[in-house]
Structure 1
């Protein structure tokens, strides 16, 4: 059967991940064929670096796809079926401040967790809402697949501010973890795993994992995680974890697991359960933002410039990213009714029975042309319920602060975070972040 060709705009065309998404889209033309591929970004110079290379890649590998890049919303969002959104409002320079300001006060500095995630959320909300409005104005039948961080805060904001929008908020971190898990338990691919999982974005737990034949993978997995986390066993290579910061995060999962060995955790829980460890093992002068700028950004942009100059990508080092694979799978399920089982960030509405219906939770969903249908994960234990409810309150307070332009609510959000030791420290961080963010944030009263 011939599949109907789709039109896609990548919002955030200047991202270092965009070229990898293009490679994944091209490699999956049999599953998700394209008629148009557009880039949209409000930073024309940055987008041009990536777009000129991707134009060469598309011309060589899929010349039937109509390719363009623009900074004009009408041109970008007209005649599209999907918006794939991964914007970073404020860029890496603001991410650096999100990470370094909390560290000055002995608090976790991370782009989605703690005060840094809240600062980023205050910048991201208007950017993502703007994209929804463009989509609804120019292509009202389209779907937005949003993986712009911090996904939890963005999901809460869009639930309130654009409740009827066709937007699905997603994250690739569980996919990255499951790739390591597949290696640990001896499966060829993470797609061979059937899982039960509950929580929030960057804040969740697996309760079951089987292969597609129903064999229980948890005993072998737990034995490994208790010793090594999600990293490879001693003496074995781990090609998924090339950067020291990620290697540490995957190894630290063994200590996160020890807190509740009845489940296996998302790696990001280390920031909430071991914030003292994270601060002690972070260089306050060279954070993850600096790693990205010094390595990934330089390498990707240099390769894009080389491709554009040579007018060929035959020997390119750019590869399809694992998060791109997740996006293509989701888009295909929506377009072609494949009923995929995927982890999505959705309104709770009974998926976690003993949690508020209006919490934005991350749970397995069945995806089809109808959209998504969350699966019920039942009741959860007191430990996880207490942690989740605290974090849900933090995320709701951040959105309250944005909507009400409330200093008080944002101070409360930072105070309530498990990563912050006291209200006085929260206030010091908040005051410095207000100065650092300037016009990126609404003026708080």
Structure 2
């Protein structure tokens, strides 16, 4: 059966991930055929080399697809079926500040957790809302698949500011973890695992995992995770994340997260909340993850794109389809072709977790079809997880309050409430430092 061709705009066309997403989309046209593919970014200089290289990639590999790149919102968002948004407001230089400023105070410096995530969230809210406005103005029937970080704060902001918009907030971290679990189990794909999971973005737990024949996978996984975390028991690494020392450490650390609650399997980001002292002790305040990205992925991607443009061909390119983006194709296909895919998504609770506020933006398994997203019931969560979730949701809500009210007080409260920050006095020092660093992005607080 032939599938209707789709028109897609990737918002964040200058991202280092864009070329690999383009490659993935054009190589998956049997599942998700394209008629148009467009890049949009408000930074023309950054998007230019990526756009030119992608133009060559598409011409060589999928010449039937109409490809353009632009900085004009009307051109970018007109006649599209899907907006795939992965923007980074302030770029890597601001990520570097998000990570290094907290470390000055002995606090975890991470782009989505604690003070760094709060700072990034304050920058991201207006730009994500702007993208939704463009979509609704120029393509009111389109869906936005948003994987811009920090996804939890962005999701809370869109719930309040755009409650009726066709936006789905998503994250690839559970997919990356499940890839490792599939390797551990000897399964072909993470899609062979049927799971039950509850929590918030970057803040959740698996309670069940079965294969498609209904066999319980948790006993084998727990035995492995108890010893090795989510890393391999040998040197046979297939998950590309684990080739990087910092990510490998994160996946190994899962064994200590598991030890705290052996009834569940944790999201790796919980290490920042369970063991912040460990994270700070092992961090280099002068060289953080942002520096690693700038020195490697950022440098390599732009050099490769310029090489493609200079040679006029991408036949021998080192750019490969982005595995991190596979779930985006799954999600878009489910919405377009009614495939009833089961996926972990960030949605309004509405009873999915029965003992949490229905207004919370939670991350749970959902069924996706042309009707949209339907969360599955996960039942009540235990006291330990419930307490952690309620504290973290309160932080995220206070951040959105602070943005909407331009409130210094609310943002100070958010930082103070964060499990990562040790006291109100440290929170205030951090806040004053972050205000100065973000003066070109945040609203003026009073």
Q: TM-score range by the shorter chain?
A: over 0.9
Counterpart for residue 113 of structure 2:
113
Please give the alpha-carbon distance, in whole angstroms, between the structure 2 residues aligned to 1:237 and 1:144: 34
Please give the alpha-carbon distance, in whole angstroms, between the structure 2 residues aligned to 1:236 and 1:62: 34
Q: Given the alignment of the two structures, is residue 293 of structure 1 paired with residue 294 of structure 2, yes or no?
A: yes
Please give the alpha-carbon distance, in whole angstroms, between the structure 2 residues aligned to 1:7 and 1:273: 43
Q: Given the alignment of the two structures, is residue 179 of structure 1 paired with residue 179 of structure 2, yes or no?
A: yes
Counterpart for residue 395 of structure 1:
396
Counterpart for residue 15 of structure 1:
15
Cα separation, partners in 2 of 1:364 and 1:283, compared to 1, 3 Å:
same
Q: Is the CA contact 2:352–2:376 (under 8 Å) kept in the aligned structure 1?
A: yes
1:333, distance to aligned residue in structure 2 (A): 0.3
Match of 1:440, SS state, is: coil
Q: Is the CA contact 2:237–2:243 (under 8 Å) kept in the aligned structure 1?
A: no
Please give the alpha-carbon distance, in whole angstroms, between the structure 2 residues aligned to 1:337 and 1:221: 32
Counterpart for residue 45 of structure 1:
45
Counterpart for residue 83 of structure 2:
83
Cα separation, partners in 2 of 1:239 and 1:154, compared to 1, 3 Å:
closer
1:439, distance to aligned residue in structure 2 (A): 2.2
Pairing of 1:173-322 with structure 2 (within 5 A): 173-240=173-240, 241-322=242-323
Match of 1:439, SS state, is: coil
Please give the alpha-carbon distance, in whole angstroms, between the structure 2 residues aligned to 1:110 and 1:393: 19
Please give the alpha-carbon distance, in whole angstroms, between the structure 1 residues aligned to 2:236 and 2:51: 38
Q: Is the CA contact 2:183–2:238 (under 8 Å) kept in the aligned structure 1?
A: no
Aligned residue-pair number: 445
Q: Is the CA contact 1:175–1:322 (under 8 Å) kept in the aligned structure 2?
A: no
Deviations 1:308-346 (CA, angstroms, capped at 9, x unpaired): 111111111111112211100000000000000000000
Please give the alpha-carbon distance, in whole angstroms, between the structure 1 residues aligned to 2:256 and 2:187: 25
RMSD over aligned CA atoms reads 0.7
Please give the alpha-carbon distance, in whole angstroms, between the structure 2 residues aligned to 1:10 and 1:111: 22
Match of 1:57, SS state, is: helix
Q: Is the CA contact 1:152–1:201 (under 8 Å) kept in the aligned structure 2?
A: yes
Unaligned runs of 5+ in 2: none
Length-normalised TM-score, structure 1: 0.99
Counterpart for residue 96 of structure 1:
96
Q: Given the alignment of the two structures, is residue 163 of structure 1 paired with residue 163 of structure 2, yes or no?
A: yes
Counterpart for residue 28 of structure 1:
28
Pairing of 1:425-436 with structure 2 (within 5 A): 425-436=426-437
- Runs of 4+ that moved beyond 6 A: none
1:307, distance to aligned residue in structure 2 (A): 0.9
Please give the alpha-carbon distance, in whole angstroms, between the structure 2 residues aligned to 1:67 and 1:235: 41
Deviations 1:267-315 (CA, angstroms, capped at 9, x unpaired): 0000000000000001000000000000000011111111111111111
Please give the alpha-carbon distance, in whole angstroms, between the structure 2 residues aligned to 1:253 and 1:20: 28
Cα separation, partners in 2 of 1:234 and 1:31, compared to 1, 3 Å:
closer
1:234, distance to aligned residue in structure 2 (A): 3.9
Please identify, of 312-321 and 67-76, the stretch whose mean Cα deviation from structure 2 is larger.
312-321
Q: Given the alignment of the two structures, is residue 406 of structure 1 paired with residue 397 of structure 2, yes or no?
A: no
Please give the alpha-carbon distance, in whole angstroms, between the structure 2 residues aligned to 1:191 and 1:46: 35
Deviations 1:28-52 (CA, angstroms, capped at 9, x unpaired): 1011000000000011011011111
Counterpart for residue 70 of structure 1:
70
Q: Is the CA contact 2:180–2:239 (under 8 Å) kept in the aligned structure 1?
A: no
Q: Is the CA contact 2:96–2:291 (under 8 Å) kept in the aligned structure 1?
A: yes
Match of 2:439, SS state, is: helix
Please give the alpha-carbon distance, in whole angstroms, between the structure 1 residues aligned to 2:59 and 2:238: 34
Please give the alpha-carbon distance, in whole angstroms, between the structure 2 residues aligned to 1:17 and 1:40: 14
Deviations 1:60-115 (CA, angstroms, capped at 9, x unpaired): 00000000000000000000000000000011000000000000000000000000
Counterpart for residue 361 of structure 1:
362
1:397, distance to aligned residue in structure 2 (A): 0.3
Q: Is the CA contact 1:172–1:322 (under 8 Å) kept in the aligned structure 2?
A: no
Please give the alpha-carbon distance, in whole angstroms, between the structure 2 residues aligned to 1:284 and 1:242: 22
